[in-house]
Structure 1
Amino acid sequence: MATLADVAKRAGVSPATASRIINGSSKPVTEALRERVLAAVEELQYVPNAHAQSLARSHRSAIGVIVHDVSDPYFAEITRGLQRVATEHGRLVIICNSYRDPDKELQYVELLRAHQVAAIVLAGSGYHDEAFTATLAGKLRVYERTGGRVAVIGRHEHAGDAVVPDNEMGGYLLGAELYSLGHTDFGVVAGPKVLTTTTDRLAGLRRAAREHGQKLPARRVAYADFDRASGAAAAASLLDAEPGLTAIAALNDSMAIGVLALLRSRGIVVPDQFSVVGFDDMPVARDVTPALTTVRLPLAEMGARAMTLALRSPGGARPPLIEEIGAELVRRDSAGPPRTG
């Protein structure tokens, strides 16, 4: 097995400098030097056992959580579950908002490792970005080899413990519901194209289309930012381009609420004249008018499960634990048969 001296030699630094960087010392070093040492750790598969044992001790109480934006209702619910379990175990949660900036996510991994947090939870979606994914996976491997724990929510390329919601099935349930109501011409307000969550939910909708002998053409899919304002803007562009639409499937509830607001501004009555469905079943989904038909994911429970995984003992070379979370259709008042005549 590689030693600290081997790492120092490979990186061209002293063993003391290598040790400070690996152990997350607060003493400043240049970013180039840090990257050189961490690259040597990765190449040599170095595992500092003493530090791993130190990180596993209970006095290291902080858990780092990286989310896209904790003010987003989706992540607020997940964070509620994360914090509940952390509090039960006497742990401090450090929340980091990346605002879907991959560079910020990489920086936060480094900052959290430097602060010697006991674990890192990635609560945001994975990205369709090979360079970013490879870089992130490398940084997380280094962190784990120095004793840290990692758990993720959603579909990521990281080979570790994960809580994986069945977004594909959720999309299928939405599509099947609209087709069963008689909607063959509906639009989709999707999330950012770069996110795996968006891809998976769209894949479910397309599977439902195939099973009902239909197609979901690209012109009926508008990409937005998973928020109310962009949901309304995307709905407007769909309705202007495709005036024959009878329904819109929004791939999260915030965007669905934006769709409802846009329809209301145009004097279109839901569900009498038009149907809208959402995704996630955020608490507000039942309070809007009309109450939103949506797909339920147990968001707080997802957060609780992810924190439970993050607090597990490293356990040597045990296989990763993948917890799959099912999706459930919740019928309310915003969807009905298309208007005839």
Structure 2
Amino acid sequence: MVEQARQQATPTIDDVAALAGVSRAVASRALSTEKRPVSAEKRERVLQAAAELGYRVNLLAQSLTTKTVNLIAVVVNHIHDLSDLDLFDRLLAETQAIGKQVILIRVGSVDKVEEFLRQGVAYHVDAALVFSDFADAETVRKMFRSDLVVMLNGRHDRLSPTVIPDEAMGIHQAVADAAQHGVKTAALVTGRASSLVEQARIASYLSAFNQHGIELVQTVQGDYSYQSGHAAAPAVVGFDCPDAVFCTSDAMAMGILDVCREDFPGNRPTRFRLYGFDNLSLTDFDAYPISSIGYDKADYVRQMVRFLADPTAFTPGQPPVLIPTRFVPRKTS
């Protein structure tokens, strides 16, 4: 009876060490997600022993020893844009590859960020990746009580690393393409005007229009979603439509394209040219061959994960890491 109870008890690190024939310290190092010295032969023995016993690492106990929990907070406004789907699967994979796990925190407004602080929400994480443009670097550092906060939304300061796409490059290439096709007038369908990233994006379009002699005849505000592009289409491309419509997300361009399929026989433009932004994977398929502006998402994720894996890669005051963008022509232009 005692023997049966012993066999059914939850295995400990001491049990693993005994079965593997190593010290408790060696077993702990072999099972750690951190890069800690242990020979390959001993690590293999420990892993085999752990598997045989059904041992699982107690992450809470490990965190008390290493002062890390291997958790990364990813702060977002929401996850429903099509561009999120292309990015976050890759981000999760790369984060897990360095031994970290992700928790998602949705922030719907500035008030929500302040509410987290007022209520003393203190998620114990090693670092945070901040996509939400409602959150600034200083607030997030306080929120998580962590100095390692990687900003991806433009609301950074000198104390936090920043990784952002260099959007002006791709935007100027897209507008230059339109000018080469004889475009003289354009409409711009934008996202939320309060976003610093969107403000910079709009400024880049205005600069490119001015440089290439294209008149901006209409601006309509959407929210990056397919629905907002679909709703904007009748007003933007009515009887007196512009030569080209530029959207600051591919999802909005998809909404416009679906409303105006008759203007794109075989997906080729007849009344106006259509440009998106994000270079979604969907634009490589026949249903939505939208000319777009994109960047290397693998490089984007790699740069942000680099700071998570090695916090010493950043020094205060370091300029943002810029990911170059490029124009990708497809049928709609």
- Give the alignment's TM-score, normalised by structure 2: 0.71
* 1:212-227 correspondence runs (5 A): 212-217=212-217, 220-227=218-225
Report the CA distance between 1:282 and its aligned residue.
0.8
Aligned to 1:98: 107
Aligned to 2:156: 157
Residues of 1 paired with 2:151 and 2:65: CA distance?
19
Aligned to 1:328: 326
List gaps (5 residues or longer) in structure 2: 1-62
Distance 1:138 1:152, change over 3 A: closer
Report the CA distance between 1:246 and its aligned residue.
2.3
Q: Which has the higher contact order (CA 8 A, sep 6+)?
A: 1
Report the CA distance between 1:111 and its aligned residue.
8.2
Residues of 1 paired with 2:117 and 2:97: CA distance?
24
Distance 1:111 1:153, change over 3 A: farther
C-alpha deviations, 1:239-277, integer Å up to 9, x for none?
23x71412211111101100101112xx32241333111
Aligned to 1:3: none
The alignment covers a number of residue pairs equal to 267
Q: Secondary structure at the match of 1:114?
A: coil
Letter in 1 for 2:91: L
Q: Secondary structure at the match of 2:216?
A: coil
Residues of 2 paired with 1:258 and 1:84: CA distance?
30
Residues of 2 paired with 1:324 and 1:147: CA distance?
24
* Range with greater deviation from structure 2 (280-289 or 105-114): 105-114
* 1:193-272 correspondence runs (5 A): 193-217=193-217, 220-240=218-238, 243-264=240-261, 267-269=262-264, 270-272=268-270
Aligned to 1:168: 168
**1:297 and 2:292 matched:** no
C-alpha deviations, 1:86-131, integer Å up to 9, x for none?
11111110012224x222344557889612101011023x36xxxx
Report the CA distance between 1:163 and its aligned residue.
0.5
Distance 1:57 1:81, change over 3 A: farther
Q: Secondary structure at the match of 1:76?
A: helix
Residues of 2 paired with 1:253 and 1:311: CA distance?
32
List gaps (5 residues or longer) in structure 1: 1-53, 128-132, 336-341
Do the aligned residues in 2 keep the contact of 1:70 with 1:79 (CA within 8 Å)? no
C-alpha deviations, 1:25-79, integer Å up to 9, x for none?
xxxxxxxxxxxxxxxxxxxxxxxxxxxxx89946411100012222322222322
C-alpha deviations, 1:176-225, integer Å up to 9, x for none?
221121111121111111112222222122112221234324xx111100
Do the aligned residues in 2 keep the contact of 1:172 with 1:201 (CA within 8 Å)? no
**Structure number with bigger Rg:** 2
Do the aligned residues in 2 keep the contact of 1:190 with 1:251 (CA within 8 Å)? yes
Choose which of 129, 133, 139 in structure 2 pairs with 1:121.
Answer: 129
Do the aligned residues in 2 keep the contact of 1:231 with 1:258 (CA within 8 Å)? yes
Letter in 2 for 1:102: V
Residues of 1 paired with 2:280 and 2:196: CA distance?
20
Q: Secondary structure at the match of 2:287?
A: coil
Distance 1:94 1:108, change over 3 A: farther
Do the aligned residues in 2 keep the contact of 1:224 with 1:234 (CA within 8 Å)? yes
Q: Secondary structure at the match of 1:327?
A: strand
- Give the alignment's TM-score, normalised by structure 1: 0.70
Q: Superposition RMSD on alpha carbons, in Å?
A: 2.8
Residues of 2 paired with 1:300 and 1:73: CA distance?
17
